[in-house]
Amino acid sequence: MSRKRVAVLISGRGSNMTALIAAAKRADYPAEIALVVSNRPDAGGLATAQHEGIATEVVDHKPFGKDRAAFENAIQAVLERHRIDIVCLAGFMRILTGDFVNRWYGRMLNIHPALLPAFKGLDTHRRALDAGVAEHGATVHLVVPDMDSGPILLQGSVIVRPGDTETDLAARVLAVEHRIYPEALKMLAEGRFAP
């Protein structure tokens, strides 16, 4: 079985990227983290990836201004050069255009810190606490042009405890993210999820 070549797109420390790298070290894992791409030259995750011997590239969005298509074309060129099969978004803080997303449909995953379809977008932990939900969690889904709306591969939940702060909840949800993202990538790489 040839392992799928995966690129992880990050904008910051890349804690989910680190979880994916750790999973891909297993001999029986069907994907390898072949590339880490950041839109921020100062992203902490770049050093982590380099330390693990993984190729890194920076495609800084700033020089492209409002030309999202040109920015994405630059990313696409990098992905093609590294012969990437699957893209994982891991704290990548840029909204992607429909054209780019559709080009990767069925081959691009995102992790979202909420139990979709609840709490799409930002500030999920605060919104979950404000809403008084009993359960909160994380979702791995295929990326579609409509944000946080693609087919769901996996979800994991935590109980919201009395007195939880955003920080408490975020830490427990992050542990769930680190568990389910590698599992969802494995499912996709093995062809066990057909969109």
Catalytic positions:
112
* Token output for 174: 């992050």
Residue 9 is classified by DSSP as E
Backbone angles phi, psi at 171, to 5 degrees: -65, -40
CA distances from 125 to 114, 149, 165, 174 (A): 8, 18, 9, 11
Give the residue from 108, 101, 100 showing the smallest Cα distance to 185.
108
* Token output for 28: 């029986």
Strand spans (E) along 19-175: 31-38, 55-58, 86-89, 108-112, 135-142, 152-159
Give the residue from 93, 103, 47 showing the smallest Cα distance to 73.
103
